[in-house]
């Protein structure tokens, strides 16, 4: 079994299997004023539960989508009928499934896979969908392990800019990175961190409606073409830590484990007056 991805055929044949829970984690940036839950209700994989990334983020942080405390994550995940023996399959209708994959891994649960191509590929291959809310799952006890050391702070990133060895890769759209488009977050200016390399998240998936993941060999080519030295550690960042996880998962698929995610990403960096910012325009 692929340790990262599953196909629609594989999942369809196991939808009623005990020990497997499917999660829809569709999410949109605030600027879009669109509800992931509404999209879920309009059509989702049969039996899939909706997980709200806003709900399972750190509720006390001034920055959006920050990794939650272990107890909050465990409580919310257990309420979805998931325990530590459950194989979790995550998908979405846009681009955020890798974020939830990373969250599970961060808390020690490696029994998690991403549906390659997400809902778009599922529908394109003629698989069934259902509308509305499914029957609620019976709650289970999920125990979160001690968090992995895979997150860096803004201070860590600043220290790296001032003399560290890691390469900062920013997965936001080029216009947001350059400062020519809105940041996507009201009140937060666009721009980028000094020394960061911009490789939009779309570079790591296919240019097709289903946005399937590129192969590890293709990802290696994308990184090298952009000037990323793969012998050095990588700090992955984006708007709020969502698409940064796409690069993290792709690096894991390549067998490269010396990566970290700047969880606050641009939502934190862009609004902190004490941090240096640049624009390319």
Spot the catalytic one: 238, 244, 248, 249.
238
Entry field: residues in the chain: 281
End-to-end CA distance of the chain: 46
User: Is residue 23 exposed (0-12), middle (13-18) or buried (19+ Cβ within 10 Å)?
Assistant: buried
Of the candidates 109, 77, 114, the residue with the CA atom closest to the CA atom of residue 97: 114
Q: What angle do CA 227, 232, 237 make, to 5 degrees?
A: 70
How many Cβ atoms sit within 10 Å of the Cβ of residue 125?
13
Annotated catalytic, 238? Answer: yes
CA distance 173 to 121: 23
Residues classed as catalytic: 238
């Amino acid at each position: 079994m692929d340790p990262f991805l599953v196909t629609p055929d594989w999942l369809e044949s196991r939808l009623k299997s005990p020990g497997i829970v499917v999660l829809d984690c569709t999410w949109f940036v605030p600027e879009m004023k669109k509800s992931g839950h509404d999209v879920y209700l309009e059509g989702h994989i049969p039996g899939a539960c909706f997980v709200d990334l806003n709900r399972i983020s750190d509720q006390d942080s001034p920055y959006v989508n920050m990794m939650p405390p272990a107890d909050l994550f465990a409580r919310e995940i257990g309420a979805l009928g998931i325990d530590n023996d459950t194989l979790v399959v995550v998908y979405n209708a846009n681009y955020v499934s890798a974020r939830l994959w990373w969250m599970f891994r961060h808390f020690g649960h490696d029994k998690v896979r991403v549906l390659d191509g997400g809902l778009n590929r599922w529908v394109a291959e003629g698989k069934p969908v259902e509308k509305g809310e499914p029957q609620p799952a019976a709650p289970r006890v999920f125990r979160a392990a001690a968090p992995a050391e895979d997150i860096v702070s803004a201070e860590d990133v600043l220290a790296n800019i001032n003399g560290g060895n890691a390469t900062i890769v920013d997965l936001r759209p080029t216009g947001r990175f350059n400062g020519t488009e809105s940041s996507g977050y009201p009140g937060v200016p666009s721009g980028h961190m000094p020394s960061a390399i911009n490789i939009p998240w779309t570079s790591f998936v296919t240019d097709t409606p289903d946005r399937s993941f590129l192969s590890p060999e293709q990802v290696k080519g994308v990184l090298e073409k952009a000037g990323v030295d793969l012998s050095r550690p990588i700090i992955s960042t984006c708007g709020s830590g969502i698409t940064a996880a796409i690069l993290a998962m792709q690096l894991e698929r390549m067998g490269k484990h010396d990566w970290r995610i700047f969880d606050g990403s641009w939502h934190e960096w862009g609004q902190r007056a004490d941090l240096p910012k640049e624009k390319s325009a």
